[in-house]
A and B are shown apart, each in its own frame.
Chain A
Amino acid sequence: MTGGLVYLLYVLFAVGGIALYLAMPRTQGAHAKAGLVIGGGAVAGLLALCAQVYMAPHGSNIFYYIFAGVALLAAGRVVTHPNPTYSAVYFALVVLSVAVLLVMQRAEFLAVALVIIYAGAILVTYAFVIMLAQQSGGGSSADQRAREPMLAIIASFVVMGTIAGRVSDLRELPNSPVEVQATADVMDVPLADTPVKDAGNTLSVGRTMFNQYVVVVQLAGLLLLVAMVGAIAVSRKRIPADEHGPPPPPPGEIGRTVPPF
């Protein structure tokens, strides 16, 4: 990406940040519609920039722009919607749109893993907690206004702009399983008694993960195991009888005990 276009990218990010700030929920003087219009403009500009710079290989695919736009706008609604349940639903929309983008990149495994883990498990747990905390209809006023929206937006958009500016330099992203295969060929692992055509996406991901990154996978698994053990230890119910000793025996002969039938 040439210098001028990078600055255009930064400008678009700034506009997006302003739009998000306007759309943040407030108790009074909200500008949600203005924010939505400006944000939509920023997203459209961003997508147009993408189309300009990365014409190939997906530049001509209309679905890419549709789902990318949906993902960005829905992500904006996740943070700006005053009702947490709607935020969770919009988050699910983001996850699904990103999954579609991944499918278009022929990364089916990642797409489905994203859907199963995020939309199917984590977000449902969020929804579960939100439902327990809050009935529809009467909402809590705590969710109706954003806290420190300015600082949060500045911080997050600076981080995002930095990453985007850096990533946009990397023109050589692998686009297809064949190229993933090519990067995998660098490893000193003998690939493929199966021909390249049949080596699908899942196989490639599996080979990469369990050959090149096997230690990382094991470490991640260990971390999750520790987290699970910790969660069980924290949530284990302690019966207060341990502290006070067993309950006192009933005075005298109270009740009868019958043997099991």
Chain B
Amino acid sequence: MIRDEDIVRVEAPRISAADRLYLTQIAQGMKVTLNHLFFKPRMTVQYPEQKREMNTQNYRGVHRLNRDPDGRVACVACFMCQTACPAHCIHIVADESPWEDREKYPQLFDIDELRCIYCGMCEEACPVDAIELTYEYDVVGRSRDEMIFDKEKLLEVYDSTKDVKPRKNPKITGYQRTGDRGKYDQLRDRLREMTQQSNPISAPHQTVDGERAPAPENKENA
């Protein structure tokens, strides 16, 4: 509902007779377009030949499986990425590792690049930084099967992209408890402290007597 005093009636400006012919205005417009027609630089990027500059370090393109310094696949087949994946596009078949420093290794590691939504959750979930997203975005294939990348293909992607985007933490191989907590654990702790210190008005889940009522999310987590 609009209040009466909010209504503003605007009177159109009176146009002079010469302006009503609109010929001068059209001529001005034609001048502008002529300028663009011949004298302005073209903005289009001629794609396959030219490519836009991009930040290769944080783009979420096609996946790769990293190698450790010995050239072996860094993955320890922990299934964290497969569990974290919201699109269910990662399929791992684990087997006993032939190497001493880890228990398991992926016998098969398939990613359906057509199902993937490139959210980067697998990269976050990986405890050994074995799976990473690269800057490659122009992946094509002639069939759906061709777009299911297996372990060898993902390792090839690593080989072709490691010079531009080196592995984040090449020292990590196998399960090695570092002892210090990750930054997300620290963040979660700080968040927990902040909610316990805040006053009852801004924290609706707190009861009057100061005890913290269980929020629905916390119930699920617990």
Contact = CB atoms under 8 A, between A and B. Distances in A.
Interface residues of A, number: 8
A255 B9 contact: yes
B7 A255 contact: yes
Interface stretch (B11-19, B75-83, B97-105, B125-133): B11-19
Interface residues of B, number: 10
Nearest to B12: A260
A261 B7 CA distance: 17
A254 B12 contact: no
B4 A258 contact: no
Nearest to B10: A258
Nearest to B4: A254
Given A254-B5, A256-B5, A260-B12, 18 more contacts: A254-B7, A255-B4, A255-B5, A255-B7, A255-B8, A255-B9, A256-B7, A256-B8, A257-B11, A258-B8, A258-B9, A258-B10, A258-B11, A260-B11, A260-B13, A260-B14, A261-B10, A261-B13
Contacts of B11: 257-260
Interface centre among A254, A256, A257, A261 (most CB of B within 10 A): A256
Contacts of B5: 254-256
Q: What are the 7 closest A-B residue pairs judged by CB atoms, nearest first?
A: A260-B13, A255-B7, A254-B4, A260-B11, A258-B10, A256-B8, A258-B8
Interface of B: 4-5, 7-14
Q: Is the interface of A mostly helix, strand, loop or mixed?
A: loop
Interface of A: 254-261
Contacts of A258: 8-11
Contact of A257 (B4, B9, B14): B9
A163 B12 CA distance: 64
A194 B145 CA distance: 85
A94 to B, nearest CB: 43
A254 B2 CA distance: 12
A261 to B, nearest CB: 6
Contacts of A255: 4-5, 7-9
Contacts of B12: 260
Nearest to A259: B11
8 contacts: A255-B9, A257-B9, A258-B8, A258-B9, A259-B11, A260-B11, A260-B14, A261-B13
Nearest to B6: A255
B2 to A, nearest CB: 10
Nearest to A250: B4
A117 B204 CA distance: 81
Contacts of A259: 11
Contacts of B4: 254-255
A258 B7 CA distance: 11
A254 B9 CA distance: 11
Contacts of A257: 9, 11
B56 to A, nearest CB: 50
A150 to B, nearest CB: 60
A170 B140 CA distance: 84
Contacts of B7: 254-256
Contacts of A260: 10-14
B122 to A, nearest CB: 56
Nearest to B11: A260
Nearest to A261: B13
A248 to B, nearest CB: 15
B9 to A, nearest CB: 6
A254 B12 CA distance: 20
A257 B5 CA distance: 10
